[in-house]
Amino acid sequence: MQDVAESPESDNVTYESIDEKRLVERGQKGDREAIDELVRRYQNKAYQYAYRLTHDADEAADLAAEAFVRIYTAIPRFRAESRFTTWLYRIITNCFLDQKKKEKPRKTVSLDENPLLGESGTQMGAPVGDPTESSEKNERGEILMAAIDELPEYQRAMIVMYHMEMLGYEEIAAALDLPIGTVKSRLNRARLALRELLADQVELFISG
Amino acid sequence: MTPEKALELFSEYREGTLDPGLRQALERHFYENPATQEEYRVFVSVYDSLSNPPEVTPPANLSELINRRLDLADWERKREPKRQLRWFRLVTMGAVAAGVILTGYIALDRFGPQTGIAASSVPGIVTRDTSPSVARLNGETRIRFWSDHQTVVTVHTGGTRFETLPPSDASLVRSDELKGEYNVPLAINTTSPSVVWVTVKGLEGTTAIFLPGSHNPSLSATQDGDLISALQVVSAKYGIVIEARLNRSYQVPSVPFNNRTVDLVLGDLLSSTGLRWKVDGDLVRIR
């Protein structure tokens, strides 16, 4: 009588304590529980990135799930030349771009029409006459997010990866399969575009 | 330096990575062009605001959603070779049937009408369901199962009469008619060890799930007797969930724990049963 398969328990090791590289190796051999552990470790990160791209809870959850399905399917071919998380960002970005391609042409909202970017500079529903620091910060955050939504998808992904997910230029370059110089110049363009989009709310940002 | 060129350098200047020569040229440009300098001031404000994004809280059911999608992908992956096999079988059976008919025809032609061969019907293709199994995720225990046709999954708990499985005195917890995915959390919270029995209509055998209740490391041995009772003790001793696919219960010897691993204990316990086991973290599967 013998154990039917090698298991981490045989040497008192649990999936929770296995490092990422070994989990990936196990996943490549078809170990579903290794994949489950990778999901457990990175699902929040995946959702956070997806949410910051979409600003929609359902869409973000769907993107995160789709990304893990793609990972499950493609992991035997993953060459581990980059970190698993870099690959995860790449796949989520691809899922996001694919989804946007599939969607009907997005209804474009002009800056004048977008209530968050209107001339008043006041977020809809925000308490009027409540100039506390925190409400101003929230307002600034909402306006900023609305402006990010107006960016082309690729620029949006770069902005979110660099400024919110705190990825370095090299990691973004690896995730998007672009030269670092291209990432830097495109990010600069994205920031300049944001500055243009926020031209009407300049004071809000400078005072902050 | 043109204003356009100055704009291209804003990020690197802000990040302090600009070549010293270009930095001086840009600063000179700022001095001579206050409008560009003002643009840079706005740029920096926006740049800095980007790094304080609002907090994002994932939904509570995110893990469940992802696992369902993975289960589905898993199922589709397993189904694909079955489909190919099905086609292979159909083609093979077709070829055999054609061969038989041809042989019959030749025989009929050669030896007269008394040697004719009756046509046999092609048997229906039967797809087999997987057995219900246990998944442990984030400390939660779930029953998972997939059926590609309409069936009934029944869950019982408890019972002491192991002549039949589930025991005749087990209590019914739920019964679900379904086709497709079954993914149900085991929300039975008892302090004493318990057994959950999962049966699927039309599928042989029962999946027994042993839940440890309050972990009881002071237990010293199993007792002579029934495998099911012994597995309840092992589950409580090691604080593990045991999933066992059983057609019947077995008589097993007494097994001491004596600081031994669950692997060694199960080795002794199952040696006469022909069952095999696999330890995965705090889950043991027995087949």
Q: What is the pLDDT of residues B15-30, one digit of tens each?
A: 999 999 999 999 999 9
Q: For position B10, what pLDDT does the model report?
A: 94
> Tokens for A161?
């990866």
What pLDDT digit, counting tens, does each position of B87-119 carry?
A: 667 777 777 777 666 665 554 444 433 333 333
- Beta-strand ranges (E) seen in B89-201 are 133-137, 140-157, 171-185, 194-200
Arithmetic mean of pLDDT, A158-168: 93
Q: Give yes or no for residue B243 having a pLDDT over 60.
A: yes
| B263: chain A residues, CB-CB within 8 Å | 3, 9-10
Tell which of B8, B46, B252, B280 to mutate to test the A interface (max A CBs under 10 Å). Answer: B46
Interchain CB distance below 8 Å, A68 and B39? no
pTM equals 0.54
Query: Mean pLDDT over all residues of chain B?
Result: 80
Q: Which of A135, A149, A126 is nearest to A198 (CA)?
A: A149
Q: ipTM, 2 decimals?
A: 0.76
Interface check for B265 against chain A (CB to CB < 8 A): the answer is no
Q: Give yes or no for residue B158 having a pLDDT over 70.
A: yes
Q: Give yes or no for residue B31 having a pLDDT over 70.
A: yes
Interface check for B16 against chain A (CB to CB < 8 A): the answer is no
Give yes or no for a cis peptide into B212 (omega within 30° of 0). no
More confident site: A202 or A85? A85
Arithmetic mean of pLDDT, B59-83: 80
Q: Give yes or no for residue A207 having a pLDDT over 70.
A: no
Interface check for A42 against chain B (CB to CB < 8 A): the answer is no
Interchain CB distance below 8 Å, B137 and A9? no
**Which of B47, B52, B58 lies closest to A191 in CB terms?**
B47
User: How far is B197 from B171, CA to CA, in rounded Å?
Assistant: 10
Interface check for A126 against chain B (CB to CB < 8 A): the answer is no
Please report which confidence band the pLDDT of residue B190 belongs to, taking 50, 70 and 90 as the band edges. Answer: low
Please report which confidence band the pLDDT of residue B139 belongs to, taking 50, 70 and 90 as the band edges. Answer: low
Interchain CB distance below 8 Å, A72 and B70? yes
Please report which confidence band the pLDDT of residue A131 belongs to, taking 50, 70 and 90 as the band edges. Answer: very low
Please report which confidence band the pLDDT of residue B279 belongs to, taking 50, 70 and 90 as the band edges. Answer: confident
Contact, B93 vs B122, CB < 8 A?
yes
